[in-house]
Structure 1
Amino acid sequence: MNTATDTPREPATSRRQIDVWFDSYSADHRNPANQLIHVICVPAILWSVIALLWCIPSPGTWFRAGFWAGVAMFVAWAYYYRASRRLAFGMLAVFVAMAWATRWLHGTFGTMNLLYLAVGVFVVAWIGQFVGHSKLFEGRKPSFLTDLRYLLVGPAWVLAKLYRKLGWGY
Structure 2
Amino acid sequence: MKTLQQQLGQYGLYHRSKRNVLTHFFGIPLIVFAALCLLARVEIPLGSFNVDGAQLFVLASVVYYFMLSFSLGLIMGIIFTLLLVAAQPIAAMPFTSWLTIGVGVFVFGWVLQFIGHYFEGKKPAFVDDLVGLIIGPLYVTAELLFLMGFYKNLEQQVNEISGPTKA
Q: Tell me the TM-score normalised to structure 1 length.
A: 0.81
Matched, 1:103 2:99: no
In the alignment, the residues of structure 1 paired with residue 14 and residue 91 of structure 2 have an alpha-carbon distance, to the nearest angstrom, of 36
**The structure with more strand, counted as a fraction of residues:** 2
Structure 1, residues 105-152: CA drift from partner, whole Å, max 9, x if none?
A: 334x34442222010011111122112212xx1110110000000001
Structure 1, residues 33-81: CA drift from partner, whole Å, max 9, x if none?
A: 11110111011111111111012244487216xx111011100111000
In the alignment, the residues of structure 2 paired with residue 58 and residue 115 of structure 1 have an alpha-carbon distance, to the nearest angstrom, of 19
**The structure with more helix, counted as a fraction of residues:** 2
Give the partner amino acid of 1:98: L
Partner of residue 147, structure 1: 129
Displacement of 1:168? 2.6
Q: Tell me the TM-score normalised to structure 2 length.
A: 0.82
Partner of residue 67, structure 2: 82
SS in 2 for 1:63: strand
Partner of residue 42, structure 1: 28
Give the partner amino acid of 1:38: H
Partner of residue 132, structure 1: 116
Give the partner amino acid of 2:134: L
Bigger relative contact order (CA 8 A; separation at least 6): 2
Partner of residue 13, structure 1: none
Work out the number of aligned pairs and report it.
151
User: Identity of paired residues, percent?
Assistant: 30
Asked whether the 8 Å contact 1:76–1:152 carries over to 2, the reply is: yes
Matched, 1:62 2:49: yes
In the alignment, the residues of structure 1 paired with residue 37 and residue 127 of structure 2 have an alpha-carbon distance, to the nearest angstrom, of 23
Displacement of 1:166? 2.7
Asked whether the 8 Å contact 1:34–1:132 carries over to 2, the reply is: yes
CA 1:86–1:111 in structure 2 vs 1: closer, same or farther (change >3 Å)? farther
CA 1:111–1:85 in structure 2 vs 1: closer, same or farther (change >3 Å)? farther
Give the partner amino acid of 1:118: G
- 2:79 corresponds, among 84, 90, 94, to 94
Supply the RMSD in Å over aligned alpha carbons. 1.9
Give the partner amino acid of 1:41: G
Q: Unaligned regions of 5+ residues in structure 2, if any?
A: 155-167
Give the partner amino acid of 2:130: L
In the alignment, the residues of structure 2 paired with residue 96 and residue 148 of structure 1 have an alpha-carbon distance, to the nearest angstrom, of 23
Give the partner amino acid of 2:113: Q
CA 1:99–1:111 in structure 2 vs 1: closer, same or farther (change >3 Å)? farther
Matched, 1:28 2:10: no
Matched, 1:163 2:148: no
